Amino acid sequence: MAKTSTTTQGLRAAIERSGYYPALVAEAVEAAIGGEAIRSYLVHQETTFDANEVRRHVTVLVLTGNRFIVSHTDEQAADTTSPTPYATTSTESVKLGRISSVVVSRVVANPESYKPGTLPREVVLTIGWGAVSRIDLEPAACGDPNCEADHGYTGNSTADDLSLRVSEAGDGPETVRQALVFAQSLSEATADVAR
- 155 belongs to a structural domain: no
Query: Residue 158's pLDDT is what?
Result: 61
Percent of residues, the chain, with pLDDT higher than 70? 91
Supply the range of the domain harboring residue 65: 1-96
- Locate all alpha helices (DSSP H) within 34-172, ordered by sequence: 168-171
Residue 88 lies in a domain: yes
Q: Which residues 6+ apart lie within 8 Å of 195 measured at CB?
A: none
pLDDT band at 5 (very low <50, low <70, confident <90, very high): low
Residue 147 lies in a domain: no
- Name the residue with higher pLDDT: 152 or 66: 66
The confidence band for 127, taking pLDDT boundaries of 50, 70 and 90, is very high
Domain contains 91: yes
Length of the chain: 195
What is the count of structural domains for the chain? 1
Residue 54 lies inside a defined structural domain of this protein: yes
Expressed in angstroms, the distance from the first to the final Cα of the chain is 33
What pLDDT, on a 0 to 100 scale, did the predictor assign at position 173? 95
Is 115 inside any structural domain?
no
